[in-house]
């Protein structure tokens, strides 16, 4: 269990709060809007009404005692910048800030953010790749180049073993798991034979996957 300071209780902040609650973390929510604060009282551990750009107010929260501080302020980038800066100045251990537009990430990082999330851009990329491709069922981006993909077994691979396909050498992709009947098996042997009712968990670059699966 971690202690979390969540600043900004709009739609994105509320959804983060819901997920943090499911994970069993203690969450203190902050917003200047009384209605948003009251709306969150059944979801988070505690909430306060206040201006996060006010250093005196932030000091009362003891920000250095939280494991994570999220800055999820909506439609007010200046406040996000000021809040991020003040959190680090007051000793916040780890600050995750939200970007809403291109170019905001570098300013947030310069102002002290440890990590920046850009939910609209990230979900747009996921949706574009996921639903425009015939073979990709899901994917998780690991860095700018590499991702984990859950993919269908190509028709020409059905009935063949991992060692016979030689996927790593031919395509520069690594099969790290096989999913069958909604159960993922990470014990992959060279002799494992692929069947039509399987999905593969593959690690590699998108361009390599695209070449391999011809989409």
Residue 200 sits in a domain whose CATH number is 3.30.70.1450
Residue 188 shares a structural domain with residue 205? yes
Residue 36 shares a structural domain with residue 64? yes
Q: Which domain holds residue 68?
A: 3-117
Residue 140 shares a structural domain with residue 57? no
CATH number of domain containing 11: 3.40.50.720
pLDDT in tens, the chain (215 residues): 899 999 999 999 999 999 999 999 999 999 999 999 999 998 999 999 999 999 999 999 999 999 999 999 988 999 999 999 999 999 999 999 999 988 899 999 999 999 999 988 888 877 877 777 777 888 887 877 888 889 888 888 999 998 899 888 888 989 999 999 889 889 888 888 999 999 999 998 888 887 777 65
At residue 137, the 3 state secondary structure works out as strand
Residue 186 shares a structural domain with residue 206? yes
Written as six digits, the tokens of 215 are 């989409």
- Total count of domains within the chain: 2
Domain boundary among 95, 117, 139: 117
Residue 127 shares a structural domain with residue 108? no
Written as six digits, the tokens of 26 are 């203690």
Residue 165 shares a structural domain with residue 131? yes
CB atoms near residue 62 (< 10 Å): 13
Predicted TM-score (pTM) above 0.75:
no
CA dihedral 156, 175, 120, 53 (to 10 degrees): 180
CA dihedral 213, 181, 183, 148 (to 10 degrees): 20
Domain boundary among 91, 117, 143: 117
Count of H helices and E strands in the chain? 9, 11
Residue 87 shares a structural domain with residue 141? no
């Amino acid at each position: 269990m971690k202690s979390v300071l969540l600043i900004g209780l709009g739609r994105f902040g509320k959804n983060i709060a819901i997920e943090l609650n499911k994970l069993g973390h203690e969450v203190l929510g902050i917003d200047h809007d009384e209605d948003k604060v009251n709306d969150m009282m059944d979801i988070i551990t505690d909430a306060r009404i206040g201006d996060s750009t006010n250093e005196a107010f932030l000091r009362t929260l003891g920000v250095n005692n939280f494991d994570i501080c999220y800055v999820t302020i909506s439609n007010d980038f200046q406040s996000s910048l000021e809040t991020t800066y003040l959190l680090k100045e007051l000793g916040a251990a780890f600050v995750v800030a939200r970007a809403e537009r291109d170019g905001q990430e570098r300013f947030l990082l310069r102002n002290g953010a440890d990590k920046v999330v850009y939910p609209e851009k990230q979900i747009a990329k996921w949706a574009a790749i996921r639903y425009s491709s015939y073979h990709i069922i899901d994917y998780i981006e690991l860095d700018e180049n590499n991702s984990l993909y859950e993919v269908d077994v190509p028709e020409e691979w059905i009935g063949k073993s991992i060692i016979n396909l030689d996927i790593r050498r031919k395509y520069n992709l690594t099969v790290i798991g096989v999913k069958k009947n909604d159960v993922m098996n990470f014990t992959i042997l060279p002799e494992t034979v692929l069947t039509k009712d399987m999905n593969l968990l593959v690690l590699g670059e998108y361009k390599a996957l695209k070449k391999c699966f011809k989409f």
